[in-house]
């Protein structure tokens, strides 16, 4: 039986970020190639986005392609780019219909013109939607985001456009300054690390790790993570 976090009145996170790990290992267990695993992982994305919408969670950020993923075999990278392009064509109309707003975080200088156009179209088509905001971290790296913020700040300091710097001001120079930090970060597949994901934003996030591989992560597994979160007490460095 699925967890009933919403029905029981338990607290839910406003923003959930997920490191979707294990597609390749899942495929290898099935005797298939890694791309088969990535395609299967898309089904889990659909399930989690649908469940998050049902629960009225405000933001979901999915680690879709990291800056380090470019070092994978060129065949796999090419297949991932093709898959992502096809998914935008297929999924955006449904996301629009379901009142989901699509946003992207990460660099865009290394992406093809055709992919960029589809990303920009997804953002434009869904920008007025008021339900779940789905953020796809694509060509994203936490360290690079911090470096890019520092470059902007140094430029402003040099031009005397900035007089004071604190953590709040620094955060205004991140890729998505108007999106709240994640309350909960989930990582699948039994790995216990951030892998360069939301390094600044994760300062006070609750962490949830599961051995379940991403293609097997469904609504029930998502609800388990939410139930675990609801049972925690967040202090943010304070004493209660």
Which residues are tagged catalytic? Answer: 21, 69
Residue located via tokens 């919408």: 53
CA–CA distance, 115 with 100 (Å, rounded to integer): 20
Per DSSP, 181 falls in state: P
Sheet holding 184-187, edge to edge: 101-105, 133-140, 59-66, 15-19, 184-187, 206-209
What is the residue whose two structure tokens read 């470019």?
Answer: 70
* Beta bridge partner(s), residue 207: 185
Strand partners, 94: none
Contact 25, 238 (CB under 8 A): no
Question: Among 20, 76, 66, which Cα is nearest to 44's?
Answer: 20
Query: In the chain, at which residue ranges do the beta strands (DSSP E only) sit?
Result: 15-19, 59-66, 101-105, 133-140, 184-187, 206-209
CA distances from residue 218 to 11, 12, 40 in whole angstroms, order as listed: 20, 17, 12
Helices 74-97 and 34-54, axial angle in degrees (round to 10): 20
């Amino acid at each position: 039986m699925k967890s009933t976090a919403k029905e029981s009145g338990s607290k839910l996170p406003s923003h959930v970020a997920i490191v979707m790990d294990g597609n390749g290992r899942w495929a290898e267990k099935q005797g298939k190639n890694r791309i088969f695993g990535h395609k299967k992982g898309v089904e889990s994305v659909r399930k989690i986005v649908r469940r998050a919408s049902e629960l009225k969670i405000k933001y979901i950020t999915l680690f879709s392609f990291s800056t380090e993923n470019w070092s994978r075999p060129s065949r796999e990278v090419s297949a991932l780019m093709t898959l992502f392009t096809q998914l935008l064509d297929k999924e955006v109309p449904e996301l629009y219909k379901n009142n989901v707003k699509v946003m992207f975080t990460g660099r865009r200088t290394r992406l093809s013109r055709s992919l960029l156009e589809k990303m920009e179209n997804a953002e434009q088509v869904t920008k007025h939607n008021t339900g779940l905001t789905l953020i796809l971290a694509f060509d994203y790296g936490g360290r690079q985001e911090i470096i890019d913020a520092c470059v902007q700040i140094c430029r402003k300091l040099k031009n005397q456009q900035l007089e004071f710097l604190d953590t709040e001001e620094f955060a205004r120079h991140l890729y998505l300054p108007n999106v709240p930090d994640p309350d909960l970060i989930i990582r699948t597949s039994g790995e216990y690390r951030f892998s360069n994901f939301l390094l600044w934003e994760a300062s006070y996030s609750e962490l949830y790790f599961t051995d379940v591989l991403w293609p097997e992560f469904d609504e029930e597994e998502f609800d388990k993570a939410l139930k675990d979160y609801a049972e925690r007490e967040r202090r943010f460095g304070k004493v209660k």
